[in-house]
Amino acid sequence: MWLIVGLGNPGEEYADTYHNAGFRVLERIAEQLHVRIKERCGPALISRQILLGGEAAAALVMPQTFMNRSGAALAPVFERFESSARDIIVVYDDLALPLGKLRVRQKGSAGGHNGIKSIISTLGSDEFLRVRVGIRPDRELGDVRDFVLSQVAKADRALLVQTEELAVKAVETLIADGIEKAMSEYNGIDLREGSAAEGRAKDN
């Protein structure tokens, strides 16, 4: 049973922030499959069982703790589905990656992301699958915390939406075809290249 865990902060005021990319990716998956992520399981919301990547059973999980306590929401979910770290895919925003890129990883450090720090602390391991959604724009940011909790800028929205849509496909590929296939298929994509080409075409 796969658990697809999207990271974000609960509450309408955070829904359209950069930090909630993980929530939005799960909402896209739920919309495609016509399910809702509404059932309570401890401090998390979960979907009913779905099929992803062919015939693999999965559930969508959105912790309702704040980001820096994301790991605390997982214990009841693991117990409910009799799952462990090897069964989860965590989807989250990553300021180390530029807008328009994502990274599929098998394990690794938190890289300064408080939600991932919390999950590593809870699991006692950094060996779990991740899909990292790039959110860093090509401009000076100032205070990092203020940026990730700010509403997505109009100039960034289209590229971030495309990246989140790509993350949905990466999750499906991870489940259907495994980590090596997903890494080779998605880690080299840079959606900025398409946007730049479109911009040049409009200028001409």
| Residues acting as catalytic residues | 19
Pair 98, 134: CB distance under 8 Å: yes
HEC assignment per residue over the chain:
CEEEEECCCCCHHHCCEHHHHHHHHHHHHHHHHCCCCCEECCCEEECCCEEECCCEEEEEEEECCCHHHHHHHHHHHHHHHCCCHHHEEEEEEEEEEECCCEEEECCCCCCCCHHHHHHHHHHCCCCCEEEEEEEECCCCCCCHHHHHCCECCHHHHHHHHHHHHHHHHHHHHHHHHCHHHHHHHHCCCCHHHHHHHHHHHHHC
Collect all residues with Cβ–Cβ distance below 8 Å to 172 and sequence separation of at least 6.
52, 53
What tokens appear for 25 in the block? 């990716």
